[in-house]
Amino acid sequence: MPTMSGVVTIAQESRFQLTDEKGVSHLFLLSPHALAEDDDLEPLQREQARVRVTYEPARNILGYRARRIERI
Amino acid sequence: MDNVFHMHPRAAEHHQSSLDRVIPNESELTAGVRIEPGKSYGFFTDTTVCIGCKACEVACKEWNNLPADNLGLSGQSFDNTGALSANTWRHVAFVEKSGAGGVRAQEQQPFQSGWLMMSDVCKHCHHAPCMEACPTGALFKTEFDTVVVQQDICNGCGYCVPACPFGVVEVSKLDGKAHKCTLCYDRLKGGLEPACAKSCPTDSIQFGEVSDLQGRARRRVADLHARGVPQAYLYGTPGAPGATGGMSHLNAFFLLIDRPEVYNLPSAPSRPSRRVAPSLFSGLAAVAGLTLAAALLFSDAERRA
Amino acid sequence: MSVPYPVASRGPEDAPARPGSASERNMPAPGHDGSWDGPTYYGRPALKPAPFEAEVVGGYIFLAGLSGASALIATVADVTMGERAAGAVRRGRYTALLAPTIGSALLVYDLHTPERFFNMFRVAKATSPMSIGTWILVGFSGCAALTAAAQYASDRGAAPRTARAAARAASLPAAVLGAGLSTYTAALLAATSTPLWAAAPRALAVRFGASAVACGAAALWLGERDGGLARRLETLAAAALAVDLAGDAVSAIAYRRKGVAPAMAGPAGTLEKVVGTGLGAALPLALYAASRLAGRRPPALGTLAALAILVGGAAFRTSIIRAGATSAERPDVSFRFMQPDNLPD
């Protein structure tokens, strides 16, 4: 699965925005099989944590489905 | 309601355009209401002043970080959003009456004759069918009398979806949870007016306490009737269409000037939980009767043996 | 810099149906089949269909009915006939394990976040048939498992008297909960805003309950060697099928009167009529009547009738789920259903 790293800039429920090194923002939705839960996103956003997201593409929406989030 | 612009006295305290903090009780400045737990809040959507700008849709997606979906053109007037869904919590409906049947009308009435626009949203029903159906308690009534799905509890059973008589709730196939408008629960807790109402440039979407809004809406209907729009009516206030069948009232209600179906709203929805007892007890009665028949049949067999 | 977004050229997935233009020409022909002849919004659905997989949820409803009714009939046979019905009682007690095992697995599979299935046990709500059903299933599973375990112990000769008493003690609550398990599924469908399910709450529940008893009797008939008991199981199945057919007639009237009948016109409705009612109820009834009149009972015909009841029962549930989705997706059906004249008193 592809990965992307960047900073968690917005967290809302199970959705979060990741701003990558080039300054482009990407929207992710947590997969139901993701290891992270909604409650894990808010601290990441507060700390503006740098993370690596393993994701799968989603069709018909401008966003991706996140399977795994790791701090880096 | 009155056409004179009043500036809130507190607004003068915030003359700079960029702020380094959230204004306390900002909703007093933007919506004229202080948000306090224990009171009932909702939307009054006056469709007669909607201009179809979709600022509410955009504001909602921006604040709630919802993904854009279904890119493309629908061919259905300016409605390329389609419907409320897991990713869309405000939906502006466009009804082109003068284009109906492919023939453009040659004459138009002076008011709202050719175009109807309505910003649709979750109705935050007083007796919310989705909440009554939810088997996990993920759907709950907040301290602001709004209905919210707790994302950390929802297990995606999807039973709230057929429960909703307005087709609002949807389970996202991407994250496996039910989603719908939260009436900006997080903003209300911070004293902010919901994003859609704040962004509405014509005040078609008004946020406030439900009883205040209902009074304001009734005055608006009386005003429209006086001005020669006799077809104006409310949808979702007590006793009105939309608040039928035990629904009591809808916290997010509408002022419409055509049949509810024109706006994709049902005329007379009913509260599904009222059908639980009749169904359950009829089924049990049928099985009880057949059990009795079985007992008679089997004991007869035993007697003859 | 290229943005790796799936842009419109990739084509939409599961996008809503889009009639071609703003004109009304793509709308369903108004009122051609008793449905709503007023305006709709570009023919778009006004309701959302339940995100259930018809085979999975329909399969669960079938297994719940079969298990609940098997436990119930086994208990009645045990109480009234005792040792003479031992075979049927044993099979009934084991058949009752279908809902706790395969049925529960189907339910968890149908969740969109199956990892959180245990959140079902957070609350008990009288307004939610799904919550009521969760607790009925939990209680039934416990009692049915105890009954089956005690039955197994007595079959293997381990403390037979104690085991038999324990099996009977646990089978009584299992029978009561079994009655609930075989009928709550009708309330589950009826207590929604999906027009077809909500149109006839009582008749649907009677049909689900009667069909479950017929399925239970048919399942116990298969493998029954005692001719007297087998004949009585046939009579019980026939009585249940008659109730089912009566419920079918009543619900058909309600569907027409409330304007949801067009939802039964599609493939799902045809399956319900041909396989659910025709094969599952009318054919076995005819077979039973014919063998009764002829005075001969070829076992092959009995087996055919029993299998037809089981297949028809499963098809009936699945097609009701499917036709319900159709009724929610058709605005002419849902708007007709949600008119003031259809409001409950």
Contacts of C6 in chain A (CB under 8 A): 57-62
Task: Give the CATH number for residue A24.
Answer: 2.40.50
Those residues with Cβ within 8 angstroms of residue C152's Cβ, 6 or more apart along the chain or in another chain: none
Sequential DSSP letters for chain B: --SS----GGGGG--SSS-SSPPTTHHHHHTS----TTS-EEEEEEGGG-----HHHHHHHHHHTPPPBS-S--SSTT--S-S--SS-SEEEEEEEGGGGGG---SS--SSSSSEEEEEEE---BTT-HHHHH-SSS-EEE-TTS-EEE-TTT-----THHHH-TTS--EE-TTT-SEE----SHHHHHTT---HHHHH-TTS-EEEEEHHHHHHHHHHHHHHHHHTT-TT-EEESSTTSTTS-TT---BSEEEEESS-GGGGT--SS---GGGGHHHHHHHHHHHHHHHHHHHHHHHHHHHHH-
Round to whole Å and give the CA distance between C312 and C318.
Answer: 10
Q: How many domains does chain A have?
A: 1
ipTM comes to: 0.91
Looking at residue C29, what is its pLDDT? Answer: 45
Expressed as residue numbers, the domain containing C246 is 54-342
Q: What tens digit of pLDDT does each residue of B14-57 get?
A: 777 777 788 889 999 999 999 999 999 999 999 999 999 999 99
pLDDT confidence band for C3 (50 / 70 / 90)? very low
Q: Does B278 touch chain C (CB under 8 A)?
A: yes
Smallest CA–CA separation between A56 and chain C, in Å? 12
DSSP C34: S
Q: Is B69–A61 a contact, with Cβ atoms under 8 angstroms apart? A: yes
**Rounded to an integer, what distance in angstroms lies between the CA atom of residue B271 and that of residue B127?**
8
Cβ contact (<8 Å) for A39 and B175?
A: no
Distances in Å between the alpha carbon of C151 and those of C65, C167, C213? 21, 6, 22
Distance CA B171, CA B156 (A): 6
- Residue B61: pLDDT band by 50, 70, 90 thresholds? very high
Per-residue burial over C20-33, b = 16 or more CB atoms within 10 Å of its CB, e = otherwise:
eebbbeebbeeeee
pLDDT single digits (tens) A32-67: 888 888 888 999 999 998 999 999 988 888 999 999
Dihedral sign computed on CA atoms, order C301, C306, C310, C313: positive
Of the candidates C76, C123, C328, which has its C-beta nearest B295's C-beta?
Answer: C76
- CATH code: domain of residue C293: 1.20.1630.10
Q: What is the DSSP letter of C16?
A: P
Which among C5, C14, C110 is the top mutation candidate for probing chain A, defined by the most A β-carbons within 10 Å of its own β-carbon? Answer: C5
Name which of C250, C96, C226 is nearest C170 in CA terms. Answer: C96
**Cα C223 → chain centroid:** 24
Lowest mean pLDDT among B71-75, B230-234, B246-250, C214-218: B71-75
Q: Is B122 annotated as a binding residue?
A: yes
- pLDDT value of residue C2: 44
Cross-chain Cβ contact B155/C119 below 8 Å: yes
Q: Is B22 annotated as a binding residue?
A: no
Is B24 annotated for ligand binding?
no
Q: What pLDDT is recorded for position C294?
A: 83
pTM for the model: 0.91
Residue C204 to residues B216, B227, C210, C223, C255: CA-CA distances in angstroms?
A: 44, 50, 10, 30, 11
The residues, ordered by sequence, that sit 6+ positions from C227 with a Cβ below 8 Å of its Cβ are none
Q: What pLDDT, on a 0 to 100 scale, did the predictor assign at position B102?
A: 58
Quickly name the fold that domain B37-99+108-270 has.
Alpha-Beta Plaits (3.30.70)
Q: Which of B162, B167, B176 is nearest to B134 (CA)?
A: B162
C299 band by pLDDT with thresholds 50, 70 and 90: confident
What confidence category does residue B108 fall into, taking pLDDT thresholds of 50, 70 and 90?
low
Residue identified by tokens 């297949």 is: C311
**For position B4, what pLDDT does the model report?**
55
Q: Do C132 and B280 count as a contact with CB atoms less than 8 A apart?
A: yes
* Residue of B87, B175, B186 lying closest to A14 (CB–CB): B175
Task: Note the pLDDT of residue A52.
Answer: 94
Q: Is B9 exposed, middle or buried (0-12, 13-18, 19+ CB in 10 A)?
A: exposed
pLDDT, residue C33, reads: 57
Q: Coil, strand, or helix at residue C338?
A: coil
Q: How far is residue B138's CA from residue B150's CA, in Å, rounded to a whole number?
A: 5
Pick the range with the lowest mean pLDDT from A58-67, B111-120, B225-234, C243-252.
B111-120
Round to whole Å and give the CA distance between B249 and B237: 5
The answer to whether the CB of C225 falls within 8 A of the CB of C84 is no
Report the pLDDT averaged over residues B248-276. Answer: 94
Q: Does A33 lie at the interface with C, CB-CB under 8 angstroms? A: yes
Query: Which percentage of chain C shows pLDDT scores above 90?
Result: 77
- How many domains does chain C contain in total? 1
Query: Does residue B272 register a pLDDT over 70?
Result: yes
Q: What is the mean pLDDT of residues B198-208?
A: 96
User: Contact, C66 vs C219, CB < 8 A?
Assistant: yes
**Of the candidates B66, B70, B179, which has its C-beta nearest A60's C-beta?**
B70
Residue of C nearest to B102 (CA): C23
| Residue B105 confidence (pLDDT) above 70 | no
Which of B75, B273, B279 is nearest residue C205 as measured by Cβ atoms? B279
Query: Residue B268: its pLDDT value, please?
Result: 93
Q: How confident is the model at residue C14 (pLDDT cuts 50, 70, 90)?
A: very low
What is the predicted pLDDT for the residue at C223?
A: 85
Residue A22 has its nearest CB partner, among C1, C14, C15, at: C1
Whether C34 is covered by a domain: the verdict is: no
pLDDT of residue B112: 66
Averaged pLDDT for residues B117-137:
96
Domain that holds residue A12: 3-71
Cα distances from B100 to residues B218, B232, C22, in angstroms, run 31, 21, 7
- Compare B211 and B104 and report the one with higher pLDDT: B211
The Cα B33–Cα B207 span in angstroms is: 8
Q: Is C183 helix (H, G, I), strand (E, B) or coil?
A: helix
- Does residue C43 lie in a domain region? no
Q: What tokens were used for B251? A: 């916290």
CB contact under 8 Å between C115 and A32, yes or no, is yes
- B109 at interface of C, judged by CB pairs closer than 8 A: no
Collapsed DSSP state (helix, strand, coil) of residue C331? helix
Chains touching chain B through at least 3 C-beta pairs below 8 angstroms are A, C
Question: Does A60 contact C1 at a Cβ distance shorter than 8 Å?
Answer: no
Average pLDDT over residues C110-138: 95
Terminal Cα-to-Cα distance of chain A (whole angstroms)? 18
Contacts of B298 (CB under 8 A, 6+ apart): C76, C77, C80, C81, C85, C229, C232
pLDDT tens digits along B169-184: 999 999 999 999 999 9
Residues 141-160 of B with CB under 8 A from C: 153-159
pLDDT above 90 (res B283): yes
Min Cα separation A60/chain C (Å):
5
Residues in Cβ contact with C69 at an 8 Å cutoff, skipping those fewer than 6 apart: B287, C178, C182, C212, C213, C215, C216, C217
Both structure tokens of C10: 């990739």
Lowest mean pLDDT among B74-88, B118-132, C27-41: C27-41
Interface probe with B: pick from C112, C122, C224, most Cβ of B within 10 Å: C112
